[in-house]
C-alpha cells in the first residue's frame, strides 16, 4: 500500500533551507509514514539517490533469497530484532522504485514484509520471521545486461530439517519456547511512601499489594513469568528498577502507582507511556547503557559492544527506542481496555497518556505506568484498600497483558 504523505510534498530546495526544527518535523512525518512509501523518480534524481528497480524472492529448502536490483552499488546494513523476530534491511542513499510489501510474499521463513523510509534516502525493508535466521548479504556488481544487485539470504538456523528425506520433521514444541517475562514494578517503598491518603493509606503499600496479586495471576498463565522489582517495603532507585527488568530480559515492564492531587474530587485510573520528548536521545541512551556494569547488554538482539560504527549504534538504538514506544502504546491500549471494564473504575484519561517518567526510559522494553486511583479521593482510597478491588485490577492488568502478548506473537 502506498501512503501519500503531505509532508513529502516539498522539493529539495525546501529541505535544504529548513531550520533544524522544521527538518525534524519533516523527518518525523516521514518516520510516521512507515509502511510502504515510495518516492517519485524526480525526488530520487534530485537527491541523486540510487533507485531500487526490482525485487525478487525465492524460497529454498533452508533459506529465503531476496535480490534487490540497484542502479548502482550502495551501502546497506542488516539488523536483527527479537520479540517478535524480525530482520531489518536498510539500503542507504536509495529510493524505492518498487515496494516489497506489495508483493505479498510469505513462505516458511518469512511471515510478512513491511517497508518504509526511516530517514530520507534510506529504504527500509522489515522481514517478519517465522523462524530463527542467520542473515547473509552481499553485493554483486553489474555485469552484462544484469544490474548491480544486493542479495540477502535468510538462512534458517533452527526448526525443520534441511534435507527433505524420510526422517520425520520435528517441530519445536510450544513448551520449549521461552516464557514471556513481565516485570512488575511496585512504585516507591521504604523511606519513600509515595502518595498518602486521608485515612493513611500509603501508595507504596497498595502498589506492592496489587503487584503481588498481579504477579501471582501472571505466573499462573501458561507461557508467562512475572518478576517484581521489589518484594517488600524497601527503597529501590528508579535506575535499579530498570536494571532489574533488563537483567530479567523483560519483555514488558509495568509500574504500579497511585495518584495524589490537591483537589479531593480528582479521581480515576490512568495508563502512561514514555513521551517522545521524554525519550533520551539515542546517544544518551547508549551512554547510559555503557555506564552500567552490564554494558554487554543486548539492544534489539545485537550486542552493542560488537557494533563499532557509532552511526550504526545510533541508528540501532533509535530503531529500538521507536519500536518500544510503538509497542508500549499498543500494550497500554490493551491495559486501558481491560481496566475500563472493571466495576467502579473511572478512567481518568481516555487514551494512553504520554509523560517523561524516568522508570519508563529503558530503550528496549515496552514500558507502562499505571496510576490505579487517587489516594487523595476518599472513595478511591477506600476502594483501593479492598481485596476485591485489588484483585479486580490485577485481573484486568493480567488479561490486558495476555491479550497484548498473544496478539504480538511474544508467546
Ligand atoms: Zn507513585
What pLDDT, on the 0 to 100 scale, is given for residue 278? 87
Distance 371 CA to ligand 1 centre (A): 7
Distance 289 CA to ligand 1 centre (A): 25
Distance 110 CA to ligand 1 centre (A): 43
What pLDDT, on the 0 to 100 scale, is given for residue 158? 67
DSSP annotation of 395 reads H
Distance 182 CA to ligand 1 centre (A): 19
Count each helix (H run) and each strand (E run) in the chain, helices first: 9, 17
What pLDDT, on the 0 to 100 scale, is given for residue 191? 93
What pLDDT, on the 0 to 100 scale, is given for residue 407? 86
What pLDDT, on the 0 to 100 scale, is given for residue 161? 36
Distance 225 CA to ligand 1 centre (A): 24
Q: How many other C-beta atoms lie within 10 A of the C-beta of residue 260? A: 16
**Range(s) for CATH 2.60.40.3500 in the chain?**
6-156
Distance 246 CA to ligand 1 centre (A): 21
What pLDDT, on the 0 to 100 scale, is given for residue 172? 34
Distance 331 CA to ligand 1 centre (A): 20
Q: Which three cell numbers stand for residue 366?
A: 515496552
Distance 200 CA to ligand 1 centre (A): 15
Distance 229 CA to ligand 1 centre (A): 14
Distance 105 CA to ligand 1 centre (A): 47
Cα gap 316→299, rounded to integer Å: 8
**Range(s) for CATH 3.40.630.40 in the chain?**
177-407
Distance 214 CA to ligand 1 centre (A): 17
Distance 282 CA to ligand 1 centre (A): 27
Distance 48 CA to ligand 1 centre (A): 52
What pLDDT, on the 0 to 100 scale, is given for residue 410? 60
Distance 257 CA to ligand 1 centre (A): 4
Question: What would the pLDDT profile of 244-297 be if each residue is shown by its tens digit?
Answer: 998 898 999 999 999 999 999 999 999 999 998 888 888 888 787 766 544 445
Cα gap 56→67, rounded to integer Å: 5
Distance 233 CA to ligand 1 centre (A): 14
Q: Which of 254, 313, 320, 286 is nearest to 82 (CA)?
A: 320
Q: Which fold has domain 177-407?
A: Aminopeptidase (3.40.630)
Q: Which three cell numbers stand for residue 198?
A: 486521608
Distance 384 CA to ligand 1 centre (A): 14
Distance 285 CA to ligand 1 centre (A): 24
C-alpha R_g of the chain: 24
Q: Which three cell numbers stand for residue 130?
A: 517465522
What pLDDT, on the 0 to 100 scale, is given for residue 137? 83
Distance 342 CA to ligand 1 centre (A): 21
Distance 258 CA to ligand 1 centre (A): 6
Distance 198 CA to ligand 1 centre (A): 16
Cα gap 401→163, rounded to integer Å: 39
What pLDDT, on the 0 to 100 scale, is given for residue 255? 96
Distance 139 CA to ligand 1 centre (A): 53
Distance 187 CA to ligand 1 centre (A): 5
What are the pLDDT tens digits along the chain (411 aa)? 222 222 222 222 223 333 333 333 333 333 333 233 333 333 334 447 788 888 888 887 788 888 888 888 888 888 887 777 888 888 888 887 777 777 778 888 998 888 877 776 778 888 889 888 888 888 888 877 788 888 888 888 865 433 333 333 333 333 346 789 999 999 999 999 999 999 999 999 999 999 999 999 999 999 999 999 999 999 999 889 988 998 898 999 999 999 999 999 999 999 999 998 888 888 888 787 766 544 445 565 556 666 777 787 788 788 888 888 999 999 999 999 999 999 999 999 999 999 998 889 888 889 999 999 999 999 999 999 999 999 999 999 999 999 999 887 665
What pLDDT, on the 0 to 100 scale, is given for residue 32? 30
Beta bridge partners of 257: 371
Distance 375 CA to ligand 1 centre (A): 11
282-291 vs 310-340: helix crossing angle, rounded to 10 = 90
* Contact assessment for residue 114 and residue 70, using Cβ atoms and an 8 Å cutoff: no
Q: Which fold has domain 6-156?
A: Immunoglobulin-like (2.60.40)
What is the 3-state composition of the chain as percent helix, strand, coil, each rounded to the nearest 5? 35, 25, 40
Cα gap 125→109, rounded to integer Å: 15
Distance 119 CA to ligand 1 centre (A): 37
* Contact assessment for residue 29 and residue 7, using Cβ atoms and an 8 Å cutoff: yes
What pLDDT, on the 0 to 100 scale, is given for residue 303? 63
- 3 state SS of 236: coil
Distance 192 CA to ligand 1 centre (A): 10
Amino acid at each position: 500500500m502506498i501512503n501519500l504523505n503531505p509532508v513529502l510534498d516539498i522539493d529539495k530546495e525546501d529541505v535544504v533551507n529548513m531550520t533544524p526544527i522544521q527538518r525534524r518535523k519533516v523527518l518525523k512525518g516521514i518516520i510516521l509514514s512507515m509502511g510502504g512509501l515510495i518516492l517519485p523518480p524526480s525526488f530520487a534524481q534530485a537527491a541523486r539517490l540510487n533507485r531500487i528497480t526490482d525485487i525478487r524472492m525465492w524460497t529454498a529448502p533452508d533459506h529465503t533469497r531476496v535480490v534487490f536490483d540497484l542502479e548502482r552499488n550502495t551501502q546497506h546494513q542488516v539488523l536483527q530484532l527479537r520479540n517478535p523476530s524480525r530482520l531489518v534491511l536498510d539500503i542507504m542513499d536509495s529510493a524505492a522504485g518498487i515496494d516489497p510489501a506489495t508483493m505479498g510474499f510469505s513462505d516458511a521463513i518469512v511471515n510478512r514484509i513491511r517497508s518504509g523510509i526511516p530517514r530520507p534516502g534510506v529504504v527500509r525493508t522489515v522481514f517478519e520471521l517465522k523462524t530463527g535466521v542467520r542473515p547473509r548479504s552481499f553485493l554483486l556488481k553489474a555485469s552484462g545486461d544484469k544490474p548491480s544487485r544486493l542479495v540477502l539470504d535468510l538462512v534458517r538456523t533452527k526448526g525443520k530439517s534441511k534435507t527433505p528425506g524420510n526422517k520425520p520433521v520435528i517441530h519445536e514444541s510450544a513448551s520449549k519456547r521461552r516464557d514471556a517475562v513481565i516485570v512488575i514494578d511496585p512504585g516507591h517503598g521504604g523511606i519513600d511512601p509515595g502518595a498518602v491518603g486521608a485515612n493513611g493509606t500509603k501508595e507504596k503499600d497498595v502498589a506492592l499489594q496489587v503487584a503481588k496479586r498481579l504477579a501471582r495471576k501472571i505466573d499462573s498463565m501458561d507461557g508467562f513469568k512475572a518478576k517484581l522489582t521489589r518484594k517488600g517495603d524497601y527503597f529501590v532507585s528508579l535506575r535499579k528498577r530498570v536494571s532489574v527488568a533488563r537483567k530479567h530480559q523483560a519483555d514488558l515492564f509495568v509500574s504500579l502507582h497511585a495518584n495524589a492531587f490537591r483537589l479531593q474530587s480528582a479521581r480515576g485510573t490512568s495508563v502512561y507511556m514514555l513521551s517522545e520528548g521524554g525519550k533520551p536521545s539515542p546517544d544518551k541512551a547508549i551512554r547510559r547503557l555503557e555506564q552500567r556494569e552490564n554494558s554487554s547488554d543486548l539492544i534489539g538482539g545485537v550486542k552493542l559492544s560488537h557494533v563499532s560504527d557509532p552511526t550504526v549504534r545510533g541508528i540501532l538504538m533509535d530503531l529500538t527506542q521507536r519500536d518500544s514506544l510503538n509497542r508500549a502504546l499498543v500494550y497500554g491500549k490493551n491495559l486501558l481496555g481491560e481496566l475500563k471494564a472493571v466495576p467502579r473504575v473511572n478512567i481518568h484519561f481516555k487514551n494512553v497518556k504520554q509523560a517523561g517518567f524516568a522508570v519508563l526510559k529503558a530503550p528496549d522494553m515496552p514500558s507502562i505506568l499505571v496510576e490505579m486511583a487517587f489516594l487523595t479521593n476518599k472513595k478511591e482510597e477506600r476502594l483501593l484498600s479492598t481485596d476485591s478491588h485489588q484483585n479486580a485490577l490485577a485481573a484486568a492488568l493480567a488479561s490486558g497483558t495476555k491479550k497484548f502478548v498473544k496478539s504480538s506473537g511474544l508467546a
